[in-house]
Amino acid sequence: MYDGIINVYKEKGFTSHDVVAKMRGILGQRKIGHTGTLDPDATGVLPVCLGKGTRLCDMLTDHDKTYRAVLLLGTETDTEDTTGTVLETKETSGLTEKEVQDAVLSFIGDYDQVPPMYSALKVDGKKLYELAREGKEVERKPRKVTLYEIKILEMNLP
């Protein structure tokens, strides 16, 4: 049996559970867990704990993380990402880089965030995105989040 942590690059289209199932097949062992659910459309590093390393899963899950995002301004969807049905579009051609930068950087700090219905958080044992796909909406309690830093790497306005 293998013990430890392996960082796996999760490709788009796979769930975190899919990665664990694949690792179980490759390594031939059952005691494997991941340190946080990544959206199936997300790509990125998913730490996978093996054997005795699974004791660390809970300790690693609630630590600070780094994300890279691409923003599409002026489009609202039912899933709050680009995979959803477009609900509304707004004209963005008048935006300046300074206005966008100020808006993005305003998210730095502590605030209460209501989790979106299309998220992997569980309510009564069921993932919110599963409920959302069934057409159900449930009350979600705000959660304290902190954004320590935002770096704008590139901006391509119309």
Q: Residues of 86-106 as b/e, b for ≥16 C-beta within 10 angstroms? A: eeeeeeeeeeeeeebeeebee
Contact status, residue 52 vs residue 38, Cβ threshold 8 Å: no
Q: Which of 76, 66, 71, 69 is nearest to 97 (CA)?
A: 71
Strand 143-147 versus strand 109-113 pairing type:
antiparallel
Tell me which of 3, 18, 39, 112 is the catalytic residue. Answer: 39
Contact status, residue 46 vs residue 34, Cβ threshold 8 Å: yes
Q: For residue 78, indicate whether it is catalytic.
A: no
Beta-carbon contacts of 132 under 8 Å, excluding residues fewer than 6 positions away, are 79, 117, 118
Rounded Cα–Cα distance for residues 130 and 137 (Å): 10
Q: Residues with catalytic annotation?
A: 39
